[in-house]
Amino acid sequence: MAQLEIKNLHVCIGENEIIKGLDLVVGQGEIHALMGPNGSGKSTLAYALMGHPSYQVTAGDILFDGESLLEMAPDERSHLGMFLAFQYPVAIPGVTVANFLRTAINGHRQAKNPDDKGMPIPEFRKVLKEKMDLLQMDHGFAGRYLNDGFSGGEKKRAEILQMATLEPRIAILDETDSGLDIDALRTVAEGVNALQGPDLGVLVITHYQRLLNYIKPDYVHVMFSGMIVESGGPELALQLEEQGYDWIREKHGEANAVSAATGDS
């Protein structure tokens, strides 16, 4: 079973250290929720895990099936079985959802076998129809230009369709609930739940407990000032919903200040 292991990770953007010694393990078949106030480093972690060049890992390691990812490009990480659903997906006018997905699938196939000629169009159409039926999506969606003129909910559903089609082993959902109304949130969550199983591990990054009403996590982690400072079960998310993040700041703010003063990160 695939396992994503983050060990004492430190990440900088320019001169600013954002992630300050983070440890986390996510395995296939598990759902982990990562919560925390604005500015705690959650999205930075997501981009660093997928190898965004603006996010520099200065210490620690990211292991996938025991293999370090630090020297791998984002596409190589994807080929291994990692996936990132963006908080703000980019529109690509002129490229249909179907063409984008077939290109992505063929990229994965050719990474494993350079002589692979790609998935035949009839086979791809069958696969895409099956995935869209699983997610209860209108087949006409496949013919639209990717995220061009999409609503917030449609953009996030397109991300989930990508995840369904590529079949990653570990998926990172970066604030998938951002900007969604309650109906769109429920629809997206139902899509994630339809894909969840023993072959898929999920790291759900979110500010709010409301998404976790629909996607039930096995583990909940709280990130503050670049570190995971609390971990527990679903009850931890409920506590955050009731009490907010002030108790996190009070409990861990002083400890972080002491660490900074002593140079211990």
Q: Could you tell me the pLDDT band of residue 2, with boundaries at 50, 70 and 90?
A: confident
Q: Could you tell me the pLDDT band of residue 254, with boundaries at 50, 70 and 90?
A: low
pTM over 0.75: yes
Q: Is 17 helix (H, G, I), strand (E, B) or coil?
A: strand
Q: Could you tell me the pLDDT band of residue 262, with boundaries at 50, 70 and 90?
A: very low
pLDDT of residue 180: 85
Q: For the structural domain made of 3-88+168-262, what CATH number should be given?
A: 3.40.50.300
Which region holds residue 21: left if phi is over 0, alpha if psi is between -120 and 50, else beta? left
Q: Where exactly are the structural domains of the chain?
A: 3-88+168-262
pLDDT tens per residue across span 48-67: 999 999 999 999 999 999 99
> What are the b/e assignments for 57-86, b being 16+ CB within 10 Å?
beebebebeeeebeebebeebbbbbbbbbb
**For 151-157, what is the mean pLDDT?**
92
Pick the residue with more confidence: 152 or 262?
152
Pick the residue with more confidence: 11 or 176?
11
**For 162-185, what is the mean pLDDT?**
91
pLDDT tens per residue across span 112-153: 999 999 999 999 999 999 999 999 999 999 999 999 999 999
pLDDT of residue 256: 55
**For 207-234, what is the mean pLDDT?**
93
**For 76-96, what is the mean pLDDT?**
95
Percent pLDDT > 90 in the chain is 82
Burial of 173 (0-12, 13-18, 19+ CB in 10 A): buried
Average pLDDT along the chain: 92
**202 close to 31: Cβ distance less than 8 angstroms:** yes
**For 221-248, what is the mean pLDDT?**
94
pLDDT tens per residue across span 63-79: 999 999 999 999 999 99
